[in-house]
Copies of this chain bind each other. A is one copy, B any other.
Amino acid sequence: MPVELGTRQALALWHAALVAGVRDEGPDLTARQLALLLSVYLDPAPHTVRGLAATLKVSKPAVTRALDRLGQLGLLRRRRDEADRRNVLVERTVKGSVFLNDLGERIVRAARELPP
């Protein structure tokens, strides 16, 4: 089941999912915060602040703040790297998995109802 998508369909999909997200107003995440969250859950571990900053081409303080926010929401967790205590490892949580699963299903639902 390949994913073939025209530009117009792509925009319609983005629109539908975006409007759905804006409406029910969950945690209200920034594009950066959501991108960071998805990187943690979809890219292979381990995840450090510096690595995430490089991946997203964003300053380190921005990553720290995003981690503050996402951690406070319980969507991910920080842990000291005991091997090299300078590092902070970012880990997934059950709540984050649930949140992203919901997001994914919302996108899938939006895709299913696309005009042909």
Task: Please give the residue numbers on chain A whose beta carbons come within 8 Å of chain B beta carbons, in ascending order.
Answer: 1-15, 17-19, 21-23, 25, 31-32, 34-35, 38-39, 41-42, 55-58, 100-101, 103-105, 107-108, 111, 114, 116
Give the distance to chain B from A106, nearest Cβ to Cβ, in Å. Answer: 8
Q: Which residues of B contact A34 (CB under 8 A)?
A: 14, 18
Q: Which residues of B contact A101 (CB under 8 A)?
A: 7
Known: A23-B57, A56-B22. A108 touches B31 (CB 8 A): no
- Give the docked Cα–Cα distance between A15 and B103 (Å): 11
Could you list some 7 contacts between A and B, CB below 8 A?
A: A3-B111, A7-B105, A11-B41, A11-B100, A13-B107, A14-B34, A19-B55
